[in-house]
Chain A
Amino acid sequence: DAGVIQSPRHEVTEMGQEVTLRCKPISGHDYLFWYRQTMMRGLELLIYFNNNVPIDDSGMPEDRFSAKMPNASFSTLKIQPSEPRDSAVYFCASRAGTSGRTGELFFGEGSRLTVL
């Protein structure tokens, strides 16, 4: 079975450019999460969706960040304009509602973003 699929795996861009990260959750999972990981701050929850609806976006750092989930099999995280401090690994994760008690989130391999 395919896991969570993220693209691109690596992105190097210049400050001011728009960055779009993509995620395909595991089929049948109705929760989707975007996390950011840095050495300084660890894993931070940015936003999560339930049945394609954004539920909690309080972790989105500022207006330069936006996320969408137009359907159950696709989500994007966009940064516009990007800044060097946005450099991090961005993880997408999904889970089925019934797995909530087990706590098992299934993570993608991450998108490593470097903003010069």
Chain B
Amino acid sequence: RKEVEQDPGPFNVPEGATVAFNCTYSNSASQSFFWYRQDCRKEPKLLMSVYSSGNEDGRFTAQLNRASQYISLLIRDSKLSDSATYLCVVRPNDYKLSFGAGTTVTVRA
């Protein structure tokens, strides 16, 4: 079983729509959780950390459910510039980050 699993999508949504997707992780002892964003043919970059109580960063909301071992990301009022692949990232120990394969989001005009 993969450490981090994501629905690859793609999610095709119109501008202004809300889009949400999840990932699941296998290691219940994982300590920290993140979402990274990767644009086409570019390197991954940190989008936001995910905290136990849930957190927002502008139009982005992240949630963590430790009991069910899943993480979610919701994008409100989506923009064309939100088109990217979103990587779910889990830290199973102090040093290593495990990346999901990514969920592709395409926002259309």
Contacts and interface: CB of A to CB of B under 8 A. Distances in A.
Given A103-B32, A103-B34, A103-B89, A109 B98 contact: no
Interface in A31-46: 31, 33, 35, 41-43, 45
A110 B46 contact: no
B46 A105 contact: yes
Interface residues of B, number: 20
Contacts of A101: 32
A107 B49 contact: no
Contacts of A43: 44, 87, 99, 101
A31 B87 CA distance: 21
Overall SS of chain B's interface: strand
A55 interface: yes
A58 B79 CA distance: 40
B96 A107 contact: no
Given A103-B89, A105-B46, A50 B99 contact: no
Contacts of A31: 95
Contacts of B49: 102-103
Contacts, number: 47
Contact of B95 (A100, A102, A109): A100
Contact of A107 (B45, B91, B94, B98): B45
B94 A100 contact: yes
A104 B34 CA distance: 9
Contact count band on A: 20 to 34
Contacts of B99: 35, 42-43
A31 B97 CA distance: 12
Contacts of A91: 43-44
Contact of B43 (A41, A100, A104, A107): A107
A59 to B, nearest CB: 9
Interface of B: 32, 34, 42-46, 49, 87, 89, 91, 94-102
